Amino acid sequence: MVLCKVYSQEYRIRYLARPCSTAILFQITCLFLTFLPPLFTAYFTSGFYYKELTYSEQANVSFLEKYNIIIDSVSSLAFSSSDARLNNYFGSSYYPSTLKTYISRDVDRDGIDDQLNITLNIILPQVISNQILNLWLVFQYSLNRFPLINMETLGLISLKAPSSLSENTIVTVHGQLLFHQREPILTYQNDSSIQGVLIDYGTYSLVPSFDDILYSYSSRNYSTTFHQQYVQWSSLPSTNNYAQLTINVVVNMGPQLFRYVPNFWTEFRWSWIQYFTSLLPFFYIANKVKEFVFSNGLVRTVIRKSP
Which 3 state secondary structure label does DSSP give 258? strand
Residue 132 near residue 72, CB atoms below 8 Å: yes
Q: Quick one: angle between helices 264-295 and 22-44, nearest 10?
A: 150
Residue 45's beta-bridge partner residues? none
Residue 137's beta-bridge partner residues? 67, 155
Average pLDDT of the chain, as a whole number: 83
Q: With cut-offs at 50, 70 and 90, classify the pLDDT of residue 253.
A: very high
Share of the chain above pLDDT 90, in %: 29
What's the pLDDT tens digit per position in 73-111?
Answer: 777 889 999 988 888 888 888 999 999 999 999 888 888
Give the chain's end-to-end CA distance (angstroms, integer). Answer: 27
pLDDT at residue 201 is higher than 70: no
Average pLDDT over residues 157-170: 87
Q: Which residues of 74-94 are buried (b: 16+ CB within 10 A; e: fewer)?
A: eeeebbbbbeeebbeebeeeb
Residue 157 near residue 171, CB atoms below 8 Å: no
What's the pLDDT tens digit per position in 268-285?
Answer: 776 777 788 888 888 899
Q: With cut-offs at 50, 70 and 90, classify the pLDDT of residue 294.
A: confident
The whole-number pLDDT of residue 128 equals 85
In this predicted model, which residue has the larger pLDDT, 8 or 34? Answer: 34
pLDDT at residue 68 is higher than 90: yes
Average pLDDT over residues 293-304: 84
Average pLDDT over residues 22-26: 89
User: The pTM is what?
Assistant: 0.74
The DSSP code for 280 is: H
pLDDT at residue 289 is higher than 70: yes
Lowest mean pLDDT among 18-22, 188-192, 204-208: 188-192
Share of the chain above pLDDT 70, in %: 86
pLDDT at residue 8 is higher than 70: no
The alpha helices in 92-237, defined as continuous H runs, are 210-218
